[in-house]
Amino acid sequence: MNKKIVLALGGNALIKEGQKGTIPEQYVNAYKALKHVSELIKRGYKIAITHGNGPQVGAIIIRDEADNTSYDLPLSVAVAQSQGEIGLIITQTLKNQLMTNGINRDVATILTHVVCDKNDPSMKNPTKPIGPFYKTSNTFREKGISFIEDSGRGYRRVVPSPMPLDIIEKETIKLLVDRGVIVVAVGGGGIPVYITKKGKIESIDGVVDKDLASYVLADCIKADQLIILTYVEKVALNFNKPNQKWLDHITVKEAKKYLKEGHFPPGSMEPKIKSAIHFLENGGKRVIITSIDKLPEAMKGKTGTHITSNTFILPRTKFHT
């Protein structure tokens, strides 16, 4: 095998719908989710794991806003905290599973900075949903907080989400993955930063979309496949409508067409499809979008939405700071 995969875990992998999201709950969910990842590791794949942080970073901000006795947390610091929290749960759980199965592979979490444009239009137009779902929008209206209705599942707070351009730690991550280390990186989309004219790193107050950052990581480490795990088994056209249609396999051309027609909601399926398009147009071989419990079947081609390029592959794009 020895093929490289970037595996993007959705926010629902650790906190299920209806759960409060306690640490014990997250450990239980991680154990169930990572069993499927362990199977890929057994087969010799080299893997970088990314993850969402919407529920966790939302909880951090809620706690911060409710506490008037401690210092305020910028979003960038909240993202860093969520990387540590989720990285601990994933690495500890996965390492224990590998040891139980007699597999000697190191697992490491890397605090990851993602380069963005500090003047990205999203800084003035928040689009990234974080935190829990609410049945009504009253809470947000009363506090003057930006919000959206998220794919028929309720209302969520939204924050700025600049586009990822590069990854500061990309060479370190690639080195480790190439040597067989299972790396947890770009957690929650990474800590958004920009590079000053003097070459210094400065934080941006926002949350990068995990799926878009996963594509950048996959490109940087020259991964063969990008697997995006979410709350549905397959991508659908006309989602949650009477004429809903599940997609088994589409090409980049078809993905662009459906994206233009507005089938994929912003902040939900849209960034996943955009990531797939970018990855395949820059040399990637295959993208799979499915749910965590269907990962084994999806790897065999039995389920999930599989996205591939057309009859040719464009050369890779290099990212620069």
For residue 255, tell me if it sits in a domain. Answer: yes
Provide the domain count of the chain. 1
For residue 68, tell me if it sits in a domain. Answer: yes
Q: Which domain holds residue 261?
A: 4-308
For residue 262, tell me if it sits in a domain. Answer: yes
Whether the pLDDT of residue 223 is over 60: the answer is yes
Global pTM value: 0.88
The amino acid occupying position 203 is S
pLDDT recorded at residue 157: 79
28-73 pLDDT, tens digit per residue, is 999 999 998 998 998 899 999 999 988 898 889 888 878 888 888 8
For residue 316, tell me if it sits in a domain. Answer: no
Of 29-33, 61-65, 91-95, 119-123, minimum mean pLDDT range:
61-65
For β-strands 191-195 and 201-203, DSSP reports them as antiparallel
Q: List all residues 6 or more positions away from 133 whose beta carbon is below 8 Å from its beta carbon.
A: 17, 150, 153, 154, 155, 156
Catalytic positions: 11-12, 128, 210, 272
Q: What is the mean pLDDT of residues 114-126?
A: 91
For residue 318, tell me if it sits in a domain. Answer: no
249-295 pLDDT, tens digit per residue, is 999 999 999 999 999 987 789 999 999 999 999 999 999 999 998 99
For β-strands 286-291 and 46-51, DSSP reports them as unpaired
Q: List all residues 6 or more positions away from 206 whose beta carbon is below 8 Å from its beta carbon.
A: 75, 76, 116, 122, 123, 128, 159, 160, 161, 162, 192
Strand partners, 286: 225
Q: What is the CATH number of the domain that holds 151?
A: 3.40.1160.10
Give the 3-state secondary structure percentages of the chain, helix then strand then coil, rounded to 5.
40, 20, 40
pLDDT recorded at residue 124: 87
For residue 319, tell me if it sits in a domain. Answer: no
For residue 42, tell me if it sits in a domain. Answer: yes
